[in-house]
């Protein structure tokens, strides 16, 4: 029930923002309220120490907004979400049952229907804020559930590709002394599709494919080398960040 109320709130304010732009403070308040409902419904307030709760708020609200920022080309939100949801369903069915399977299946079905209209050269519909925020809220809830069930945070790497792209882009813009709160086209997927003129569908498939590979590595490490989880949790983001840095440098050199 708490998830449904939170989903309704976050989708409602996102739809409103799609139709008529809302102040950032209004959206952020609703994001925090929706996350609070999930935290309460899953008993997170009683399980976490008090000092970790503000960190959890900042992190998961950041994930919601990062997911929204990454929704910029045809197919990327749907394919990326499918790769994450598929991995979560595998964990749910073969490693530890942390939620009813249909709770994930409904999200997968929604992504498939959306991709039928969106994964095209000329998309017939787009996710908008309501779509990207809605599916990200769903995925965040599932991630919290699996982390609580396994008592491991390794699963956050199921969002490693989006996370590294978002963080590295913010750092790059800060280095260039740009206003990080203003609209831009500096995410690497935007560079690939806008500067390199690579097909949206190829870029989206590439992002989803890399994330799918990382999900497989995470599952393998958790099941076979659990003691190495913290190493994997550090190495994977570092490697992705180095790859991002190398590609950005190559892109700048190509423009000179």
Residue 81 CA: distances (Å) to CA of 24, 76, 104, 163 = 25, 8, 11, 13
- Measured CA to CA in angstroms, residue 43 lies from 34, 36, 106 at distances of 14, 10, 24
Quick check: 66 and 162 in contact, CB under 8 A? yes
Q: What does the pLDDT profile of the chain (256 residues) look like in tens digits?
A: 789 999 999 999 888 887 887 778 888 999 999 999 999 999 999 888 889 999 999 999 999 988 988 887 888 999 999 999 999 999 999 999 999 999 999 999 999 999 999 988 888 888 888 889 999 999 999 999 999 999 999 999 999 999 999 988 888 888 777 777 676 677 888 888 887 888 889 999 999 999 999 999 999 999 998 888 889 889 999 999 998 888 877 777 666 6
What is the maximal distance between C-alpha atoms in the chain?
Answer: 55
Supply the pLDDT for residue 194. 81
Report the predicted TM-score, pTM, of the whole model to 2 decimal places: 0.92
Provide the domain limits for residue 123: 2-255
Total domain count, the chain: 1
DSSP assignment string, 58-83: HHHHHHHHHHHHT--STTHHHHHHHH
The stretches of 72-159 forming alpha helices (DSSP H) are 76-94, 101-118, 128-150
- 107/202 Cα distance (integer angstroms): 23
């Amino acid at each position: 029930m708490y998830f449904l109320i939170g989903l309704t709130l976050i989708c409602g304010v996102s739809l409103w923002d799609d139709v008529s732009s809302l102040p950032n403070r209004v959206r952020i308040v609703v994001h925090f309220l929706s996350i609070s409902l999930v935290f309460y419904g899953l008993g997170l307030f009683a399980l976490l120490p008090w000092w970790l709760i503000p960190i959890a708020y900042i992190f998961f609200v950041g994930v919601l907004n990062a997911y929204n920022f990454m929704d910029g080309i045809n197919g990327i939100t749907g394919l990326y979400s499918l790769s994450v949801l598929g991995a979560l369903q595998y964990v749910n069915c073969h490693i530890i049952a942390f939620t009813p399977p249909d709770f994930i299946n409904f999200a997968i079905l929604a992504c498939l229907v959306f991709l039928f209209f969106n994964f095209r050269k000329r998309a017939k519909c787009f996710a908008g804020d309501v779509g990207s925020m809605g599916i990200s809220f769903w995925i965040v809830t599932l991630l919290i559930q699996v982390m609580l069930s396994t008592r491991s945070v390794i699963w956050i790497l199921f969002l490693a590709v989006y996370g590294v792209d978002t963080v590295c882009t913010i750092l790059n813009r800060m280095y260039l002394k740009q206003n990080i709160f203003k609209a831009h086209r500096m995410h690497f997927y935007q560079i690939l599709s806008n500067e390199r003129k690579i097909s949206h569908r190829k870029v989206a498939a590439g992002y989803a494919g890399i994330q799918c590979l990382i999900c497989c590595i995470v599952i393998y490490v958790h099941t076979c080398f659990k003691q190495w989880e913290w190493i994997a949790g550090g190495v994977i983001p570092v490697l992705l960040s180095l790859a991002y840095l190398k590609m950005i440098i190559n892109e700048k050199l190509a423009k000179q």
